[in-house]
Amino acid sequence: MRSDLEDAARAIEVASSVVRTAARKLANSGDLDDHQTIAYDMAHAASAVEVGRAMLDYATHGDEEASLACAFIADALADLSSRTFGREEEWGVDEGWYLPCKNFVVRYREPSFLASLAAIEGQRHLDEEFELVRATFRRFAEERVRPYADRIHRENLDVPEEIIAGLAELGGFGLSIPEQYGGFATGTAGDFLGMVVATEELSWGSLGAGGSLITRPEILARALINGGTEEQKMTWLPRLADGSIMAAVAVTEPDFGSDVANLTTQAVAYGDGWLINGVKTWCTFAARANVLMLLARTNPDKSLAHRGLSLFVVEKPVAHGTGFSFTQRPLEEGQPVSSGKMEGRAIDTIGYRGMHSYEISFDGWWVPAEALVGGERGLGKGFYYQMQGFENGRLQTAARALGVMQAAYEAAFSYATQRVVFAKPIYQYELTKVKLGRMAVLIQAIRQFAYKVATLMASGAGSLEASMVKAYACRAAEWVTREAMQIHGGMGYAEEFPVSRYFVDARVLSIFEGADETLALKVIARRLLDEASV
């Protein structure tokens, strides 16, 4: 197996060289937006290379791990060759660039080999401490989340308060909040890794009613830790950690989506505070939330773009269901003379139910001065504060994708061993086994890369890799859940089997926390071009 791993390492270097060549060519080709197709493919290929590097490290643990690593790397090379085929000139590579790796790819894409991996998930190789974290959150997901998950999805219900209360008791909301503010974070690599492990298991229970519950508090907490005043940290972080307040994120706007620099929602100084006017959309969990992390324009000069944005913690009453409307009355001198209004309507979605996403309009909604994150020094820095929250949110979204994929794989494996077609279980057919084998390979590869990114982020690095793991994991989740549903045949299309929920839930992953195209073009590709230009 050692020689095979050497071949795998060479294959990764060949793929890496192709990516670097494409980056250099694009860097000298003018406006990146004129070459979006190649840039997008290059970004995903670069992400696959980094996943492959993580798998090379994983492969050192044993033969099973090495088999999974070789299968992933061979598949990544085959995918890259399909992206460059017929576009060699645009990539700046020769035809047949892959030939030195061809024998390796043939060997590890052999259907019989992939079929042999169908039941080999591979060990995670976590330390005992994190195996305990995994077992604890898996038990909670199985006993407290899964019993509600299908009903929440089918009836479009709110997440039950008992799930929220149970997760608070478990300490799930305080995983990334420092100990001095009531959380469990110790400032070590374990903080990020623990979050990844817990999020995967909760998402295995349910994406909407499990894993995503700890994402929004996580994003706000990171923004406060990096940009908040000490008084703001003391006010909000302990309450986020113990679950006594829930948070939602109000950044996206109807006309701009991921184009944050052009946001129009305004916060205008008024008395001892700010008046907020504008519309936000895709504010997940906004009704139930006690506070909104809101990004608004505090400097009307549009030429400042993202440098004119500031971040606010906006308090609001708790609501339930699919809509809310609040009227704010002036309480003391210095507040608005007229009443402020906040109205929200739920946006119906095909999946990711339980939390509801809302469009919220603000009409003269007043917030006190202390709602501005960072106080006076936070003016114009809101974009940077929220991005620090979103970087971790992207890693967490990859963990959510892992949980959904793992649930889909387990469901497909179980069904395949029980469903008999043409006198034998469908698990015994090669095509079914190959699908399951590829699922197992993808899931473990992305999991190991997520662990690596967690370690990088703990050291203050890993922002690019966080975007890579998010982009790669979310696309993979669509394929895994689709094939899991296909293995179920007609019953996969029936709501009585959870696999249909996994499929529609997975579809949202490439859209939120940074749309796939935005991450690929505006973050990953641009960083690769910057590095190529040095």
What is the secondary structure of 443-508 as a DSSP string? HHHHHHHHHHHHHHHHTT--HHHHHHHHHHHHHHHHHHHHHHHHHTGGGGGSTTSTHHHHHHHHHH
Phi/psi of residue 311, each to 5°? -110, 140
Q: Give the pair of three-digit tokens for residue 378.
A: 């936070």
Residue 96 burial (10 A CB sphere; 0-12, 13-18, 19+)? exposed
Q: How far is CA 187 from the centre of its chain?
A: 22
Q: CA Rg, the chain, in Å?
A: 24
Q: Give the pair of three-digit tokens for residue 490.
A: 């007609």
Alpha helices in 95-214 (DSSP H): 102-108, 111-115, 128-140, 146-155, 161-170, 189-205
513 part of the active site: yes
Q: List all residues 6 or more positions away from 5 whose beta carbon is below 8 Å from its beta carbon.
A: 56, 59, 60, 66, 69, 70
Provide the 10 A C-beta neighbour count for residue 266: 17
User: Catalytic residue among 121, 253, 465, 513, which?
Assistant: 513
Q: Answer for the pair 5, 70: CB distance below 8 angstroms, yes or no.
A: yes
Question: Parallel, antiparallel, or unpaired for β 309-315 and 424-425?
Answer: unpaired
d(CA 253, CA 261): 11
What is the secondary structure of 409-440 as a DSSP string? HHHHHHHHHH-EETTEEGGGSHHHHHHHHHHH
- Cα within 13 Å of Cα(51), Cβ side: 33
Q: Give the pair of three-digit tokens for residue 214.
A: 């700890």
Is the Cα dihedral 425, 430, 433, 439 positive or negative?
A: negative
Q: Answer for the pair 195, 225: CB distance below 8 angstroms, yes or no.
A: no
d(CA 42, CA 19): 6
Q: Give the pair of three-digit tokens for residue 482.
A: 């689709």
Provide the 10 A C-beta neighbour count for residue 361: 17
Specify the residue for token string 């003018």. Answer: 30
- Return the closest-CA partner of residue 524 out of 121, 178, 43: 43
Give catalytic residue positions: 513
